[in-house]
Structure 1
């Protein structure tokens, strides 16, 4: 997938480097990916978890303590 514009680049996405760490592979060393006969790099971006960029716009928490 080639991006357009003055700073063009090639994007290689969705490349499997190993089998997913699920089930019995959860806490074991990585295993090589299993073979496949289909296109891996289709240029689509997968679902990404929402990311937070707090920066300086976050208001510090307000602490309310009773007088003693």
Structure 2
């Protein structure tokens, strides 16, 4: 599999982390919750293989932010 461009990787991870939208499937179709633009960028991130929960757990920026409030 070809590696993703580094810039596209950062944009995709940002789309996944800075997003309150959700995407759900009933087996036949997909449905989004939240703002349409956030849903669209979440779809982009998912199509590129970015898993929001994984990125949120491993993000050094988020870890640094959380440390500020510990």
TM > 0.5 between the two? no
Structure whose residues are more often strand by fraction: 2
TM-score with structure 1 setting the length: 0.22
Larger Rg: 1
TM-score with structure 2 setting the length: 0.21
